[in-house]
Each structure stands twice: as C-alpha cells, then as structure tokens.
Amino acid sequence: MIYLDYSATTPMSSYALETYNRVATDFFANSRSLHGRGLESDDVLSLSRRTIADALSVDQSEVYFTGSGSEATFLTLTGLAFANQHKGKTIITTAGEHHSVQQTMSYLKEHDFRIIHVPVNEFGQVTTDSLRSVLSKDTILVSIAHANSEIGTVQDLVSLGEVLTKHDILFHSDCVQTFGKIAIPTHVLTSASFSAHKCYGPKGVGAAYINSHTHWRPFLQGTTHENGFRAGTVDVPAIAAFAAAIDEYLPMVATDMNRLSDFRQLVIDAFEKEERIYFEGHPTKRLPFHISLRVKGIEGQLVMLECNRKGLAISTGSACRVGDTHPSNTMTSIGRTKEEAHELIRITFGRWTTEEEVYKLIDHLKQLLIELKGE
C-alpha cells in the first residue's frame, strides 16, 4: 500500500519511537512527584518543552502540553473567551475551520457568545478587507487556521495579525497542519494549537501556545498540571517523542518541502490538460505537500475506494469528518455546490514519499479516469 494521506496522520519516525521507549523505560515517574525519579521525569518534560518552544521562537513558559491538537484548541479558545468576556462576547472565525474549532464555537455559542464567520475568497483566503468588515467593538477573539486541511490554502497570518493588533483583538490559529513544516509567525499570534502526530510524533499528544501577556482562564478549576491549563498526569514519554520528532525533522524540513512541492507539480503537470479534473485551493500560497482536487461528476468517495483497491491510500478530506454525509463547509464556503463538495479528494505527501510512488499515483489516476469515463 502506498501511503498518501500524511495530512491525516504521519508515521512515527524511528528516532521518535526510540525516544519514547527510552523515556518510558528510564523516566516513567510522575513528573509532579517530588522524589528523585519524579524530578528526573520533570527534567525531561522541561527539556521537551524548551525544544517545542525554540521551534516556535517563543518562551517555554508559553507552551502547554495537551492530549491532542483538538484539546489544545478547545482549552485555548474557551480559556481566552471566558477570561475576556467582560470586554465583549463576539468571536470571529471561518466556516472552513477544523471540526475541533467548529465544536468549540458551538460550545461557546451555548454560553452566549456571538460567533461570526468572516467570508473567504474562491481560494479559501481571508483578506484584510474581509476581516475588517466583520470587526466590531464587541469582538474579543479571532480564530483562523494557518492552513486549511482540506484544500491546503495557507493564510497570511502576518497581515491579518497586524489588523487585529491595531484593534487589540486576541488572535488564535490552528497550526496543526503547519507546525514542523512551514514557519509559523507566532509574533503576531496570541495563541496557537499543534499536534504531534502530524509531524512524525505519537498520537495522543498536542500542545498550545499562549502569549504570556494574555489573560486566560483554566477550563477545570483547581488542577495543577501544566500550570492549571489541563488536568491529568502528563505523558512525559509521548511528549519527549514529540520533541524528538520536531528536533530531528526541522534541520531537513526546507529541503523536504521543496522535494514534496516538486512532487505536487508533477501531478499538476500530468493533468493540466484533463478537463475533468479541478484543483482546489490557492495555486501557490498553500501547503507544498498537499493536493486537493475534484473529478467532475465523480464522488470523491468512489475515487478514494478505487484508489484503495489499487493500493493507494488517499483521503476524501479531513479525517475528522469521516462518516459525515454533509458537504464540506470548506468547499461550500468557497462557492462550491453540494455535488462539487462531495467530489473532493485529498492527496498528501510526506517524508517517506518517493518519486516512484508519485508516478504510480499518476498512472493509477489516469487509468481510473478511463474506467470511470461516462459514469
């Protein structure tokens, strides 16, 4: 099976696995325990926190570990919203955010917050003009993902952040798809959320960044773990593996992104004259390893299943939406019909993708177009 679904999850690197095993064996103690073993475990936790913080160019006191990227998003957004609700009750986001953001917004709406969706252009981008058009004196928080997981478009967080800074509005970004792959401008962000399993680390570990000058409120009162940000014993081995994965990949990421971008271009060039294929998302301001496309008249589910039959693992969109029969909010927000939204497939490359596999993908897709012709 050729794996081409790296935006859903990545395999753990050997280095991350080795780190997990070693820490789980030698530093298994609770990092909150005051005996020697506990202090050793806490040292590993501190070193891991420093590694993640350095990768983000932030202070280690601004990094909080969680059980997932989704949990990091929920705890961050609720913590900021409830702590600042005396200033206003309006929160701005986009219709195409990850399900974790949408769920959090639904929760906040139930607690009397007003949720506004800023319009996006045909590529899924939020422009500074569209952002300004929805701001009000009651706006306290904006959450816009750095990159859309379904269509791959990368937002200009710097320009958007500059607008929000002038209005003293908090700015959160879901950076799960970009951390460890492209630079994240944390200097314009109030907060951000990340996940280990998207960058060759283990599942079940995430992290949040919150600027130290920003007031937030713990979701669960009274907990002492992660400075009150999250309850539950900290998974030090998994966190160490997360840090190891980032530490290993960052020195090679620029070269790898160029390589994967070349692979993406191979696919685009192979189908540029194919009238039935439409590529979605911004053509250049996007994740370099990400391809989002539609085969006109053919449901993405069918294309995915046929690819699976041929030994190719691809996706029909965000893995968190599997089983959801509703059309993608991302696709409808950029003007696609319900039928067009259901045509979407996602192909994402990663560290172990080879050129040979890309050519096999192209050959299989071409054969698939012949087989599905006229259906």
- The answer to whether residues 242 and 272 belong to one domain is no
- The answer to whether residues 60 and 167 belong to one domain is yes
Consecutive H or E run containing 115: strand 114-117
Question: What is the value of pTM for the model shown?
Answer: 0.94
- The answer to whether residues 278 and 219 belong to one domain is no
> Look-up: residue for tokens 């685009």?
268
All residues at 6 or more sequence positions from 130 whose CB lies less than 8 Å from its CB, including other chains? 118, 119, 120, 121
All residues at 6 or more sequence positions from 80 whose CB lies less than 8 Å from its CB, including other chains? 140, 141, 170, 172, 190, 191, 210, 214, 216
Other CB atoms within 10 A of residue 248 CB:
18
For residue 276, give the CATH number of its domain.
3.90.1150.10
- The answer to whether residues 52 and 163 belong to one domain is yes
Asked if 5 and 313 count as a contact pair (C-beta separation under 8 A), the reply is yes
Residue 121 tokens read as: 């252009």
- The answer to whether residues 45 and 188 belong to one domain is yes
φ/ψ of 236, rounded to 5, equals -60, -45
- The answer to whether residues 261 and 143 belong to one domain is no
φ/ψ of 49, rounded to 5, equals -60, -40
Least confident of 72-86, 240-254, 359-373: 359-373
* For range 300-308, the mean pLDDT: 95
Of 219, 247, 275, which marks where a domain is finished?
A: 247
Structural domain that includes position 186:
14-247
pLDDT at 57: 97
Of 175, 199, 307, 320, the active-site residue reads 320
- The answer to whether residues 257 and 236 belong to one domain is no
199 annotated active-site: no
The dihedral formed by the CA atoms of 339, 341, 345 and 346, expressed in degrees to the nearest 10: 180
Among residues 30, 37, 351, 354, the alpha carbon closest in space to that of 198 is found at 351
* For range 259-280, the mean pLDDT: 96
Of 227, 247, 267, which marks where a domain is finished?
A: 247
For residue 167, give the CATH number of its domain.
3.40.640.10
pLDDT at 324: 57
- The answer to whether residues 327 and 232 belong to one domain is no
- The answer to whether residues 171 and 302 belong to one domain is no
- The answer to whether residues 343 and 209 belong to one domain is no
* DSSP labels, 68-79: -HHHHHHHHHHH
DSSP bridge pairs for 185: none
Least confident of 161-170, 236-245, 315-324: 315-324
Q: Quick one: pLDDT band at residue 318, thresholds 50, 70, 90?
A: low
156 in the Ramachandran plot: left (φ > 0), alpha (ψ -120 to 50) or beta?
Answer: beta
Between 318 and 118, whose confidence is greater?
118
Average pLDDT score, the chain: 95
> Can you give 315-341 as a three-state secondary structure string?
ECCCHHHCCCCCCCHHHHHCCCCHHHH
- The answer to whether residues 41 and 92 belong to one domain is yes
* For range 17-42, the mean pLDDT: 94
pLDDT at 375: 46
The answer to whether residue 319 scores a pLDDT higher than 90 is no
Of 207, 227, 247, which marks where a domain is finished?
A: 247
pLDDT at 326: 79
Asked if 196 and 242 count as a contact pair (C-beta separation under 8 A), the reply is yes
Asked if 202 and 195 count as a contact pair (C-beta separation under 8 A), the reply is no
Other CB atoms within 10 A of residue 116 CB:
16
pLDDT at 154: 98
All residues at 6 or more sequence positions from 291 whose CB lies less than 8 Å from its CB, including other chains? 152, 264, 267, 268, 279, 346, 347, 348
34-85: pLDDT as tens digits:
999 999 999 999 999 999 999 999 999 999 999 999 999 999 999 999 999 9
All residues at 6 or more sequence positions from 246 whose CB lies less than 8 Å from its CB, including other chains? 51, 52, 55, 179, 180, 199, 201
Q: Is 360 helix (H, G, I), strand (E, B) or coil?
A: helix
193-237: pLDDT as tens digits:
999 999 999 999 999 999 999 999 999 988 888 999 999 999 999
Least confident of 104-113, 201-210, 366-375: 366-375
Rounded Cα distance between 260 and 42, Å, is: 37
Count of structural domains within the chain: 2
Checking 277-283 for CB contacts under 8 A at 24+ apart, the result is 277/369, 280/151, 280/152, 280/331, 280/334, 280/344, 281/123, 281/124, 281/148, 281/151, 281/152, 281/153, 282/123, 282/124, 282/125, 282/152, 282/153, 282/154, 283/123
- The answer to whether residues 274 and 196 belong to one domain is no
DSSP state of 199: T
Least confident of 23-27, 80-84, 323-327: 323-327
pLDDT at 373: 75
> Look-up: residue for tokens 């900290």?
234
Provide the pairing of β-strand 344-348 with 290-295: antiparallel
